[in-house]
Amino acid sequence: MLISAQTYGQKIQKLFIDTLDNAFDISHYMYNLNGLLPILSPITEPAVGFGAALATVYFIPKKKNDSIKFQMPDIAALAVGLTENGTWFVGGGYLGFWNKDKIRYRGVAGYGDVKLKYYGLGNEFLAKNPINFSLNSTFLLQQALFRIGNSRFMVGGKYIYSKSKVTIFDGSQSEWIKPQDVNVQNSGVGIIAEYENYDNFLSPNKGIRINVNYIQFLEGLGGDLDFGKGTFFVNYYVPAIKNKLISGFRFESQIATGSSPFYMKPFVNLRGVPAMKYQGDIVSLIETEQMFLINNRWGLVGFGGIGNTYNTDADNTDIISAWNYGGGFRYLIARKLGLRMGIDVAKSANDWGIYIIFGSAWIK
């Protein structure tokens, strides 16, 4: 049976046009038809250079019931990427909101060959003459959080496994790398405590998320080294001006314990700042993001932040700082899910980057 062009156009319109405001919207396609959302994103991460990533995101709606309360769908994703310096990766993940959001599951697995630079921990020589290296790594994460009663508090744990091989391209500088860091298998377990009262998990407009977690890698679990990492972060959103301005604030701090491999030390994680350029035994940062709402769909974003590193055994014990600023836009692409997407352009002292934002820039 042939379908007329008019009928076909009407079906497409029903899939991608919101009847409330006649704007482009993928809510019906994603939530009711289990649609795949392809995302082609440029990679401009200063640490690895220009490239592209292709991701496919699949929303899995909950079964409909008598409750009128919106239930967050599960999310599955696959991604591949390649950059100009030879970095490539492939991986997938699953984010589950189970048993009426009483259990939150997260699983990630992947493999990558990443070309990076090691700037040392407060070392003046390496800061000016970084070591070029590649990191071939297999990664697995299993994590589950369990809600305490009907409260906003959740507790849980996670397991991380990685097997990594480091190849140093600057042979004359290999003295800066510990021999045990070159070929390492890591296996660790962690504990997590969290409070979260977002109005929307993907793209919050108001609410706070407070997370404390610690992971310990152990030889007894099949790893090669004993070390750990503790993380504390707070993300806070508030509608500063109703229907006009949403203000976001972020604080994060990490601390390394034991003899962790150099590539697993905490680093300043800000848009526009190269990954691993500013590392330390202790890292802290603050960042703010302000979104001015033009209308119900479109918003303009401005952001800026600063991070500091502290090193307990560095040659130079001074605090090392990094900063960023930038701007972008957001579009409410799926109203029923509250999902915004957009593009950010970020600048730091000597670098810049372009980022495709899916949901919040601070999702982790």
Architecture field, domain 37-358 = Beta Barrel (2.40)
pLDDT of 96 higher than 90: yes
Cβ neighbours for 199, distance < 8 A, ≥ 6 positions apart: 205, 206, 207, 338
C-beta of residue 61 within 8 angstroms of C-beta of residue 35: no
What does the pLDDT look like over 56-88, one tens digit per residue?
988 888 776 655 566 788 999 999 999 999 999
Bigger pLDDT: 333 vs 128: 333
pLDDT of residue 106: 97
Q: Provide the percentage of residues in the chain whose pLDDT is more than 90.
A: 62
Q: Which two three-digit tokens encode residue 292?
A: 């001015």
pLDDT of residue 12: 55
Pairwise CA distance, residues 306 & 319, whole Å? 12
C-beta of residue 136 within 8 angstroms of C-beta of residue 164: yes
What does the pLDDT look like over 202-260, one tens digit per residue?
899 999 999 999 999 999 999 999 999 999 999 999 999 999 999 999 999 999 999 89
Q: Hey, where are the domains in the chain?
A: 1-33, 37-358
Residue 105 parent element (H or E): strand 103-118
The length of the chain, given as a count of residues: 364
Torsion of CA 319, 177, 116, 163, to 10 degrees: -120
